Amino acid sequence: MFEIVSKTKLADKVWRMDVVAPLVAGKAMPGQFLIIRVDKDGERIPLTVCDFDREKGIVTIVFQTVGAETERMSRVEVGECFADVVGPLGRPSDLCDLPIEELKKKKILFIAGGVGTAPVYNQLQWLHENGVDVDCIQGARTKDLLILEDEMRAVTENLYFATDDGSYGIHGNVCVALQQLWDEGKHYDHCVVIGPVIMMKFACQLTKKLGIHTIISMNTIMVDGTGMCGACRLLVGGEVKFACVDGPEFDGHLVDFDQALQRSRLYKTQEGELMLRLTEGDTHSGNCGVCS
């Protein structure tokens, strides 16, 4: 059993928990994710790692309640336990494979949207601990939905905020903020974008125009997390990939965002499910519980 030792409400429907999982904490790397089950009858919930403490054997997760299972997860209290915490899964960030001295030469920008701030924080912290200074744009619809502000400030050279309603920081979305910084002479050669799929799509359109190599994380479309269900199937450079086993990070300029967005909409209808099975053939696993 995996005990919850800390629980905090970060924003409306957004929770942070510290969970005792020493084997996961001992191996986790930035960019990876884990799978949680509330109890033996619970669904598998894939969540990217927000933080880990190898010495204490603790992993930190941040999640938003979007359905019944995440709502049940939010009701687990300190001192109680999850039935399962499995991981780390997925591939670590590509930045972890580069020599530190090479990373220090790069002009790196992170863009975090909503709860995508959690996995961004994990990467920023790792880079900060290794002496690599990077910038970050953190976006949300309104100031009240910005999370982990103090933690982000502690690990970021320059942290910029963007809110759609102008209640904090730059008035506009993350693309408005990036264009403004670029026009002011702050140029980058590498960008990591993590957040809602639609946000990543438009951010990648802008970074492609600006000539910035861009990595995105498709963690938000995962369901099973092991490659068996096919829910996170997507096209990257025309090739079929699965976010959970081939990612979750990919070259953002190669991802077919329109196909991914259309596919997620089709999953919501019975006829759409049948059409996916027909058009995707052998590459549609269909074991997610939605199409079975």
pLDDT at 283: 58
pLDDT at 224: 74
Q: Are residues 59 and 106 in the same domain?
A: no
Q: Which domain holds residue 207?
A: 94-217
Distance CA 204, CA 10 (A): 28
Look at residue 77 and tell me if it is in a domain: yes
Q: Are residues 186 and 166 in the same domain?
A: yes
Look at residue 223 and tell me if it is in a domain: no
- Boundary of a domain, candidates 177, 196, 217: 217
Which element (helix H / strand E) includes 179? helix 174-183
pLDDT at 271: 44
pLDDT at 20: 97
Q: Are residues 203 and 103 in the same domain?
A: yes
Q: Are residues 110 and 213 in the same domain?
A: yes
- Boundary of a domain, candidates 71, 89, 107: 89
Look at residue 27 and tell me if it is in a domain: yes
Look at residue 244 and tell me if it is in a domain: no
Q: Are strands 158-163 and 213-217 parallel, antiparallel or unpaired?
A: unpaired
pTM of this prediction? 0.86
Q: Are residues 151 and 77 in the same domain?
A: no
Q: Are residues 205 and 113 in the same domain?
A: yes
Q: pLDDT digits over 95-124, tens only? A: 999 999 999 999 999 999 999 999 999 999
pLDDT at 232: 81
Number of domains in the chain: 2
Q: Which long-range contacts (CB under 8 A, 24 or more apart) does 96-103 make?
A: 96/29, 96/30, 96/31, 96/126, 100/130, 100/131, 100/132, 103/127, 103/130, 103/132
The closest of 239, 234, 223, 276 to 259, measured between CA atoms, is 234
- Give the end-to-end CA distance of the chain in Å, rounded to a whole number: 30
Q: pLDDT digits over 216-260, tens only? A: 999 888 877 777 777 788 889 999 898 888 889 999 999 998 888
Low-confidence ranges of the chain (pLDDT < 70): 264-292
Q: Are residues 45 and 150 in the same domain?
A: no
- Boundary of a domain, candidates 57, 89, 121: 89
Classify burial at 264, counting beta carbons within 10 Å of its beta carbon; exposed 0-12, middle 13-18, buried 19 or more. Answer: middle
Look at residue 278 and tell me if it is in a domain: no
CATH number at residue 135: 3.40.50.80
Q: Are residues 50 and 147 in the same domain?
A: no
